[in-house]
Structure 1
């Protein structure tokens, strides 16, 4: 019987299709539970459609096209995760990775954003290769936990200084490099209000806290900070300026090897950690379900390709997916729901373009604060672990370069272990990475 022609059973037909596709009964869930979990996940991560275009616009990318690319990359990445891996994990352009793309690769090193997109594409290729060959496990196991913690904390500190600058809370100073900004500016006051709001809402466990803060500060900016209202709904802007704009030749010829390596390492640890953490909470790392983790990693690497082709920085799994899992999400239907909602976001481009940097800064600073909690897990009693981690984390904001922090961190780790007679604790992959960065410093005087 054709369910499309029988008005009495279309809902049952759709439910049967979803059951076969996502195996809902096997996972002890329902369509309603999965859809509500998807909505919860979406609300916790929807801030990216406002923050990502704002950050990449600083790199000279057209904001409207990046907005479309962000929505499409999130939708397609989440749908790939849903259909291929059947995981309740959503994907979108990653925080930290977008800042590295804009403020280090483009503004710091002087590469074009097209070449930077080429570097993102190549990092995705590396990710795909190590996943297919099984090298992923070797690399992940070889990098010490302290350095993984340092990577997260350092990126958090890097995001923090960007957020404070965008908010106007800190400003440049010829005497002290940075100093307190002008707290009488309406935009700075609104940013402070926005941060207190997002922190309070999160403390009260409001799901859409970051999104609420961004929209509230944007709304207030029309009355107190001379922002111009441009409407809410319209047809999406053209994606043509960024679609397939990546410059692989420029990326290959521009000495971007270290950039690709760092992008790859961050994507690898971020994706692996997020996927395993959220999957564990959902009970998906049990016997008989482990093979889906490899599929999830494949989906993540495919999303990096998709994002670079559309015109955005690296797409990755979102830790906010844990919110949906907490609401009962157990299958890819949760991620598919997120994908549909991101597609719907395509029609709010005027609102996205009206969001000023000081409206997204509070959310960015809040995310940075959360990333610092990883410091609790650092082995402070072992200086050969703690010192390299601190070097890594501190040099990222103070040199305004994630690559420099990582470079000094790995070199410090290897040298300290060698000088303290503990060289056997260092896995081969760490020696290789440290040697590459050391050679780069000797040859060029730079980590890039």
Structure 2
């Protein structure tokens, strides 16, 4: 029985498919949702919108070349962007009707156009800095990206990782305490993965060694992490405030690259955690689909019995993958305390605020692929940062809806644009030799 090649990949991140006896079949759900969003967008952003201009600031004070502000007529700009959305929706409908899969680039491009149309409408009459918006997106999206990568590694090996929330939380706790005691954020950066690994180790022990239901164990470990950190916060950190005053990671400006207009300050003016995020995503993409290790991980996640037949140690591969995923999620936890600002942020009860579950949704939306999960996590980070900025500049949207924005984006993305998705075949199924 042969195993998949080391270069095989998951279904494309932009196609809506359903598994069939003859391979993937196109699904109409994604095309219908894209069409509906385009129509609703034209109604609200063009027909019912008030006229005016939207100003985007595209330069920062440190730029060598100061680009002028981009001033757009709101209704016309939104109309052009939404016509692009309508064209992509029509293309997706035509592809589905012809029995073809929608190309992988359609959904990401559609999402960018739709978000830009919304941005043009909601900022009408105001000014917004694209550098601040996109730079904050990377900063707020970092814990989601790390959490999604943890889910990818674990579930590709066949273990459903519901415990990402607990891994983020314990990583944030240990990162804050270690950085406070050592007086440097870099020590906290080394300690944070240990917290995630601890939860990952418990998850691996119960699910891989003792074959306990993976969903139940994940939920229990999340509750355990919340209870443990809340107890330690109340009994230890409350009596020793010096143990909970971490310094943050400083901003590192990459020479030359930082001077590139717009892109430079966004990508190359971040802290070390964001640069580690780049490395982790790139390394996982290469290792999962271009290495023997990745082939083995994907094999035990798809068909563990066949992998065992050819000599791959299924249990050991799964155990190590889950612990590795926990370490990656622990780095994401450090983003809440060490990477939130240059001054650092003290640990607080349940400060992850459900981001582990959003990271899980990003992994599903990204179809268990590091690059797809990266895009989805940054989408949710964008929604969070946009909510913060709009609450400052003022907007016709009620503040309650702004607070709901990241979670609404999660629901719409997973339930609507993701279509029918198929995860690793053996994910959630214990394996007994």
TM over 0.5: same fold? no
Instruction: Specify which structure has the bigger relative contact order, considering alpha-carbon pairs within 8 angstroms and separated by 6 or more residues.
Output: 1
In terms of fraction of residues, the more helix-rich structure is 1
Normalising to structure 2: TM-score of the pair?
0.29
Q: TM (normalized to structure 1)? A: 0.28
